[in-house]
Amino acid sequence: MSRYIFRRLLMLVPVVLGVALFIFAVMDFTPGDPAVMILGEGATEAEYAALHVKLGLNDPLLVRYARYIWNALHGDFGVSYRTGLPVFQEIASRLPYTFVLAVVSTIIAVTIGLPVGVFSAVKQYSLSDNFALGCALLLTSMPTFWLAMMLVLGFSMKMRWLPAMGVAGWKNFVLPAIATASSSTASLLRMTRSTMLEVIRQDYIRTARAKGAKESRVIFDHALRNALLPVVTLIGVNFGVALGGTIVIEQVFAIPGLGQLMVNAIRTKDTPMVIASLLFTAVIASLINLLVDILYAYIDPRLRAKFTVAKRRKVSA
């Protein structure tokens, strides 16, 4: 098992380096001179040139990339062009909001989407199945920020139950979490339903029923466990989507998270900030994906077996 985790972690390294190179290269195209951003329009040519040398901007792209990675490995993600403060500090202060929002919304999505999906599959074509599917269709078809606005309209402005913006307390996170969770709940529901429907028709389910197993045992032990692989994978993918989604949701609720930081950085062409915040999001998304995969390999004896067999073969060879 630890070998599997190690190998997966190792596979993450080129992905992260690739993501960093991509973001770095793309940001290189961004128009605007960092020296002008820092010194303002009024400085002399010589001052600009001196700063170019100081920041190492005259080096080729790959040299700057390698230096960036080297510094990043030492915890130095550069200095914001706008504020002059270390980028890492700012990101670290804002990341918790975004991360918590993504985690909570993923939990909401799993606790609602999974059971309702199973129920829908078991009661296929019933009234409640159709109702659940209809809701799921509507939820996936809504932009999350619009749902967020409607929630604010209903629960903050009309009912006055929950605050519309800010981060004063846990109440402030209820609506954002629901809005962020909406589309992943719906996609999880649809995925659970369709894989369950496929599994329910397998021979081993008929066998289990023929043996006289209780219906709940057939559904939860025999069917659900086998239907779980694509569903669990989707949970990992959805976490990344939720991370991206919070960027938009944060704008609605004025949450000072990573998304707001990123959008502001893009608007002001604060390149070090943009690179670092994108990099952090991508790395977190990949790490969660990895975590989900590992968790799954841990749960699923088939995957575990596959791995131990591979190891044994290597020993004999």
In angstroms, what is the minimal distance from the CB of 252 to another protein? Answer: 7
Instruction: Collapse the DSSP code of 302 into the 3-class scheme (helix H, G, I; strand E, B; otherwise coil) and give the result.
Output: helix
| Token duo for residue 292 | 């989900």
159 is a site residue for another protein (CB under 8 A): no
313 is a site residue for another protein (CB under 8 A): no
Q: Which 1-20 positions form the footprint of another protein (CB under 8 A)?
A: 14-16, 18-19
> Half-sphere exposure of residue 250, counting CA atoms within 13 Å on the CB side?
25
Choosing from 22, 161, 204, 298, the residue that interacts with another protein (CB under 8 A) is 22
d(CA 267, CA 269): 6
DSSP state of 167: -
Segment lying near another protein (by CB under 8 A), choices 73-81, 206-214, 219-227, 282-290: 282-290
Segment lying near another protein (by CB under 8 A), choices 42-50, 166-174, 247-255, 294-302: 247-255
23 is a site residue for another protein (CB under 8 A): yes
Residue 153: phi and psi, rounded to 5, are -60, -45
d(CA 73, CA 110): 34
Handedness of CA 167, 171, 176, 177 (dihedral sign): positive
Q: Cβ closer to another protein: 43 or 263?
A: 263
Give me the residue label for tokens 């790959």. 62
Q: Is 36 buried (19+), middle (13-18) or exposed (0-12) by CB count in 10 A?
A: middle
Choosing from 46, 157, 315, 317, the residue that interacts with another protein (CB under 8 A) is 157
138 is a site residue for another protein (CB under 8 A): yes
d(CA 205, CA 244): 39
d(CA 162, CA 284): 30
Residue 6: phi and psi, rounded to 5, are -60, -45
In angstroms, what is the minimal distance from the CB of 33 to another protein? Answer: 15
Nearest to 256 by CA among 135, 96, 131: 96
Segment lying near another protein (by CB under 8 A), choices 57-65, 109-117, 280-288, 304-312: 280-288
Q: Cβ closer to another protein: 141 or 216?
A: 141
42 is a site residue for another protein (CB under 8 A): no
150 is a site residue for another protein (CB under 8 A): yes
Q: Cβ closer to another protein: 15 or 50?
A: 15
Contacts with another protein by CB under 8 A lie at 14-16, 18-19, 22-23, 26-27, 29-31, 124, 137-138, 140-146, 149-150, 152-153, 157, 194, 197-198, 201, 240-241, 243-245, 247-248, 251-252, 259, 262-263, 266-267, 274, 278, 281-282, 285-286, 289
